[in-house]
Structure 1
Amino acid sequence: MPSPPAPGDTDTAPPTVAWDELMARAQDGDRIAYRTLLTGITPYLHAIARRYLGPDTDDAVQEILLVVHDIRHTYEPSRPFKPWLGTIASRRCIDLLRRRGLRARHERALPEDGPEPVDTGATPLDRANHDEAARALHAAIETLPPRQREAVRLLRLREMSLGEAAAHSRQTPGALKVAYHRALKSLRRALGPEETPDD
């Protein structure tokens, strides 16, 4: 993804150009317009991320920018750009909130002196079914190609952010996302959608 222009960069489009127009130009291959757009939308994305996630927004904004980069071809120039962008940003922040919640629940369930049994109200049959589904999922993950298997382990099982997983795996975020989505498709074919992790 192109980096935002450095301060004083003189080859950018004027800041008064609307985001809609900049995105349309970017879709036509105008790299200067694209860099200007990314710089222009970043403060707006920080504001959205702060509403959901509090002051620590840098990682969230980077993930939102990656999503925008990956799906920029889906934007229709005849439609307003800001609501399109806001929807993407809000959904990504909600995903990150959900991930934080899962991580917090996991940490609460595993105190430092070891796991304690938790009464969830589940019957022995429920627990057996859950254990069987988990075993089937892990067995299906083991059949995936190495890059896809690593993507699932890092992004879903270890609940890393895209940036953390990319650094850990030494893959680009884009390549990691492609591997993850291909893995999900393979798992859905093998297990059915109800037993497969969500996107």
Structure 2
Amino acid sequence: MARAQDGDRVAYHSLLQSITPYVRAIARRHLGPGEDTEDAVQEILLVVHGIRHTYERGRPFKPWLGTIASRRCIDLLRKRSYRTRHEFNASDALPEPADIGIDDPLDEAAREQSAQTIREAVDALPERQREAVRLLRLKELSLAEAAADSHQSRGALKVAYHRALKSLRRAMGQPDSRHD
């Protein structure tokens, strides 16, 4: 590692070749076999590349590397767990026309009135909430795509979307059955 820190490209390439199996073993121990493990190995190697200047010469290299690899895997597990618990399907969140009090879904006048009421309710929302509804419900983007498109964090977008849903339910005269 010391030679790699000094800029020796051959030594750095050799180092990466030699540590990859060790990093893979740590990732497999934490994440199990599969695609996630290979993705983790690549992420860990990128992290090592980015922070190689923090390695102190004279200190054992493997514990330094093992700590980085283990912590990165734990971070990935946290993200996976959070994503599983908190992802939502935007299309399930807004009421369908049949759910908003229309007795006969084939009644064109009632549908048009309902659509107009929804448009007015959406137009009355604050800009961020309106944008969240537009991206997640109307454009049917995933949460990640919508966050990138709107330059908001996923969390901020979810909050705006859920607040919009609450406002829309109120505007449509529906009880707030969800705890947003």
Q: State the TM-score, normalizing by the size of structure 1.
A: 0.46
In the alignment, which residue of structure 2 is the partner of 1:29?
7
Verify: 1:85 aligned to 2:65, yes or no: yes
In the alignment, which residue of structure 2 is the partner of 1:63?
43
| Paired AA for residue 22 in structure 2 | Y
| Paired AA for residue 100 in structure 1 | R
| Paired AA for residue 36 in structure 1 | S
In the alignment, which residue of structure 2 is the partner of 1:16?
none
Distance 1:89 1:76 in 2: 17
In the alignment, which residue of structure 1 is the partner of 2:154?
157
Distance 1:88 1:157 in 2: 26
In the alignment, which residue of structure 1 is the partner of 2:56?
76
Distance 2:21 2:15 in 1: 11
Which residues of structure 2 form unaligned runs of 5+?
Answer: 95-128, 130-146, 156-180
Moved over 4 A (4+): none
Deviations 1:40-83 (A, max 9, x none): 00011110001111112111000000000000011011100000
Equivalent pairs, count: 103
**Identical aligned pairs, as a percentage?**
68
Shift of 1:26: 0.5
CA RMSD, 1 decimal: 3.1
SS at 2:92 equivalent: coil
Shift of 1:29: 1.0
Distance 2:67 2:25 in 1: 13
In the alignment, which residue of structure 1 is the partner of 2:108?
none
| Paired AA for residue 30 in structure 1 | D
Name the CA shift for 1:157/1:113 in 2 (closer, same or farther; >3 Å): closer
Larger Rg: 2
Q: State the TM-score, normalizing by the size of structure 2.
A: 0.50
Which residues of structure 1 form unaligned runs of 5+?
Answer: 1-22, 117-134, 136-148, 159-199
In the alignment, which residue of structure 2 is the partner of 1:102?
82
Match among 17, 22, 41 for residue 39 of structure 1: 17
SS at 1:97 equivalent: helix
